[in-house]
Amino acid sequence: MDDHELRALLRHALDRAQASALSTLDAEIDVKQCLRDAYRQAGLDPGLAEQTDDTDRRLNNR
Amino acid sequence: MSTDGRAQELRLSEKDITAFNEFYEGNLTQLMAAVRRLGAGQQQAMNVAQHAMVLLLRHFPTVGRSEGERYSYVKLIAIRHYYGGLAEAEKERKAIADADWIRPSRSTDDVDGERRIIQLLERLSPKQQAVVALFVDGYTPSETAALLGQPAATVSSNLRHGLTKLRIYLEQLQSQQDQAGDQEGG
């Protein structure tokens, strides 16, 4: 098996595994909580994680 | 909601915060999956992805303008951070290595080919696994060396040894599957 064939074989397996991992992660990870943690780790107010486009629009309409 | 004092120190505008939140929520799991592709476990992928996202947050106003540029930034940070932390992972991996783990299961031969290949990849050292994953993604050894901040000779050596091991593992696996088939047939 040459490098090209080996790469194709591995790519197929890794792509399938990545798609499967992504599906699992989407179901298992609480992204909003992770976002709050990211603000905390950056030394910022975790409440900033709640800011959305709607918040922006309200602020801009004041 | 108003931006607090510390956000002001980082010069994050309301627009920056909204854009970061959208980027984070839309890309965290994708980034984690990309790190897992390199060989990381789930918690490790979470830690690495979070590290990259926090760095993005700290430098958000100066890092790219498009989602694609920001994703390239966090992916680069994540790959480097993961690869840089592999020395400890390598020790753990060696401690739990099980030399005779290949046990073809007749009941799953046809349905689990990809999983078997992933298991073969997991037999490589963590650094070999990461370099092979980047090779699979189309990076040349010199590009991988630049990406990881490693000497090209080191990357080429890891890649060569990794691919050689994979060929040997694949041959072993094929041989064991052939033997299992012969026994079933006989």
What is the tens place of the pLDDT at every residue in A1-39? 888 999 999 999 999 989 989 999 999 999 999 999 999
Helix (H, G, I), strand (E, B) or coil at B126: helix
Instruction: Locate B37 and state its tokens.
Output: 């592709």
Across the interface, do A25 and B3 touch by the CB < 8 Å criterion? no
DSSP state of B85: T
B78 within 8 A of B72, measured Cβ to Cβ: no
Cβ pairs bridging A and B (under 8 Å): 114
Give pLDDT tens digits for B40-56: 989 999 999 999 999 99
* Lowest mean pLDDT segment, chosen from B5-9, B12-16, B79-83, B177-181: B5-9
Whole-angstrom distance, CA of residue B130 vs CA of residue B34: 11
Instruction: Locate B5 and state its tokens.
Output: 């004092």
Length of chain A: 62
Name the minimum distance, in Å, from the CA of B157 to any CA of chain A.
15
Whole-angstrom distance, CA of residue B37 vs CA of residue B117: 13
Name the minimum distance, in Å, from the CA of B131 to any CA of chain A.
12
Whole-angstrom distance, CA of residue B145 vs CA of residue B18: 35
Exposed / middle / buried, residue B64 (Cβ in 10 Å: 0-12, 13-18, 19+): middle
Q: Provide the pLDDT for residue B103.
A: 39
> DSSP H helical segments within B10-85, as ranges?
14-37, 42-58, 67-84
